[in-house]
Amino acid sequence: MLTLARNELYRLFLSPLAWVVLALTQVILAYLFLSHIEYFIQIQAKIATIPNAPGVTELIAIPLLNNTATILLLITPLITMRLLAEERRNDSLPLLLSAPLSSSQIVFGKYLGTFAFFMIIVLLVSLMPLSLLVASQIDLGLLAAGLLGLGLLTATFTAIGLLCSSLTRQPTIAAMTTFASLFLLWIIDWANSSQLAEQSSGVFNWLSLSAHFNTLSQGVINTSDVAYYLIIIAVCLIITIRKLDSERLN
């Protein structure tokens, strides 16, 4: 399983895609980071007089994590689309299927390898707010909660991407379905503002990927939010395993 994860990560870095994604994400987020700092410096004097005013972490680190979440939403489909769809297209899946591995080991291996890649992005991004420690005090607890949220969010993105990739042999279709699913789950709580919300008694709110992330990035770690992500991950992985198994049968 770890062999497969390692191979997955290694192959990712053999393609220029991984490097381009890492570099460009870093450029965009660094720009946003700087603009958040700029903004903070501008309003620093004004908010200094307000009691209980938001600090550096709330005004720089958390917005940056929010930006990262949006960017990950856009790049996850590009990375996860190849996972199983491309194996199918290149006819390399039999290599894994005839090795002494169970379907769940194949799925977990691929999942972990890809998740590790996204963790590299999250790690690199978290270095930016941490660099503020040199000049200022930051709320490490709040930052940790935000990073936990980002980690869980990424893990969920990856699981959904893997599931979509297992359903087709065309990577582009996998990318499109992943993006559509992620985006829909991201904005589904917008319906809340309408009348629909009252009728749906909060189902949309519960389903929303972003609503759960928002609580975490405010520093509140609820079991229900963590459970939400874990449930989605588990469901996606189990369906993927079932899909691989059923391919042998049909």
Partner 1 sequence: MNVQSANIKLADPLILLNAQSLSRFYGDQQVVNDVSFQLYKGEVLGFLGSNGAGKSTTMKMLSGNLAPTQGEITINGFDLLSEPKQAKAHIGYLPEQPPLYKELTVKEFLLFCARLNQISANQIKSAVEIAIERCGLNSVTTRLIANLSKGYQQRVGIAQAIIHTPAVVILDEPTAGLDPIQIREIRHLIRDIANEHSVILSTHILPEVQTLCDRVQIIHQGQLILSDSVAGLSQQIQTSSLLIELASPPTTHILSQIDGVTSLESLSNTLFRLHYSPDLDPIDELVRQATSQSWQLKQLTPEQHSLEDVFMKIIQEEQSN
The residue ranges that bind partner 1 (CB under 8 A) are 3-4, 7, 10-11, 14-15, 90-102, 248-249
Q: How far is the CB of 118 from partner 1 (least distance, A)?
A: 20
Q: Which residues of 15-37 are buried (b: 16+ CB within 10 A; e: fewer)?
A: eeebeebbeebeeebeebbeebb
Q: How far is the CB of 17 from partner 1 (least distance, A)?
A: 11
Q: Which is nearer to partner 1, 98 or 199 (CB)?
A: 98
Q: How far is the CB of 43 from partner 1 (least distance, A)?
A: 49
Q: Quote the DSSP letter at residue 192.
A: G
Q: Which is nearer to partner 1, 13 or 39 (CB)?
A: 13
Cβ-contact 97, 4 below 8 angstroms: no
Q: How far is the CB of 74 from partner 1 (least distance, A)?
A: 24
Q: Which is nearer to partner 1, 42 or 250 (CB)?
A: 250
Q: Which is nearer to partner 1, 51 or 100 (CB)?
A: 100
Residue with tokens 């972003």: 210
